[in-house]
């Protein structure tokens, strides 16, 4: 009999993760705030639950893939933590380290455990089981959830027992991604103002000295002005940059570039570009230089 696993959150990332888990031999008990989004999983044999607490398997494992800190804190209330009991809550969400610590403390009151397991990778990477997983939490819990994480990712990197550590790494990575987009956008605008097409610039640089997945994939999006459909929509990346800013401020670690990035994405929202991908900031950079795409 397949192991039953609770899963909460069937959004753009949660759905392919759920499909990978089913393909990996897990039986799912699923809850989503919008039930219709889980219909395809139910059709494939997943069990629909009525609430987050109903999704938990007492003494078992439950995965949450939620949009933000508020959603995670709302789901992980006392009823949910009591239902999980001595089981393990695996959080794939990009949230602050403070939120992970708070949820871990809630579970501890009921004898439960918590593993932070944020991932790097867009929905298409999740569909291909190519996510990179960061983990933090107690060693026994991480060992117990390894089969779940192996089913969704291509590699796991552990950051120790301090439960918020993996969240710090995830925020640092998302900052570096969008900072790279900003840098490529600025360099492209400078080049075009001097008569060098952005495609020529980025194709050369991203196939040589900056030949890495982030520069190559986002560079292509900048070249083609491919801002939709959004794999990493503006509201979510802005949320992440605010988390970076707060985490840095709490640690007294100045990060002036993140303030620029926040302004870029706030400007996009002010212009009604919520539907754009994070790479859409390149359009604003070009406009500042008097260029029209």
- What are the catalytic residues? 170
Q: Which residue has the tokens 């560079």?
A: 219
d(CA 229, CA 227) in angstroms, rounded, equals 6
Provide the Cα torsion 264, 267, 240, 190; round to 10°: -20
| Cβ within 8 Å of residue 266, ≥6 positions away | 238
Conformation bin of residue 252: beta by default, left when phi > 0, alpha when psi is -120 to 50: left
Place of tokens 């949820």: 103
Contact (Cβ atoms closer than 8 angstroms) between residue 103 and residue 89: yes
């Amino acid at each position: 009999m397949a192991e039953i696993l609770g899963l909460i959150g069937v959004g753009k990332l949660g759905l392919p993760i759920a499909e990978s888990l089913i393909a990996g031999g897990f039986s799912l008990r699923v809850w989503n705030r919008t039930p219709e989004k889980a219909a395809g999983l139910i059709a494939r044999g997943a069990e629909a639950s009525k609430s987050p607490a109903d999704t938990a398997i007492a003494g078992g494992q439950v995965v949450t893939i939620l949009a933000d800190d508020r959603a995670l804190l709302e789901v992980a209330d006392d009823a949910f933590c009591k239902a999980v009991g001595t089981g393990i809550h695996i959080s794939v969400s990009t949230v602050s380290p403070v939120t992970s610590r708070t949820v871990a403390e809630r579970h501890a009151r009921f004898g439960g455990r918590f593993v932070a397991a944020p991932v790097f990778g867009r929905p298409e990477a999740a569909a291909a089981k190519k996510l990179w997983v960061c983990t933090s939490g107690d060693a026994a819990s991480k060992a117990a959830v390894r089969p779940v994480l192996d089913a969704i990712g291509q590699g796991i990197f552990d950051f120790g027992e301090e439960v918020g550590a993996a969240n710090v790494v995830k925020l640092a990575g998302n900052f570096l991604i969008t900072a790279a987009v900003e840098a490529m956008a600025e360099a492209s605008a400078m080049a075009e103002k001097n008569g060098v097409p952005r495609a020529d610039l980025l194709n050369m640089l991203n196939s040589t000295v900056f030949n890495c997945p982030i520069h190559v994939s986002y560079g292509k999006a900048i070249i083609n002005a491919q801002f939709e459909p959004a794999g990493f929509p503006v509201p979510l990346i802005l949320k992440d940059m605010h988390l970076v800013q707060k985490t840095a401020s709490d640690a007294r670690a100045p990060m002036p570039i993140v303030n620029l990035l926040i302004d870029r994405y706030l400007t996009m929202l002010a212009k009604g570009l919520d539907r754009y991908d994070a790479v859409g900031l390149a359009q604003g950079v070009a406009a500042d230089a008097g260029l029209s795409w």
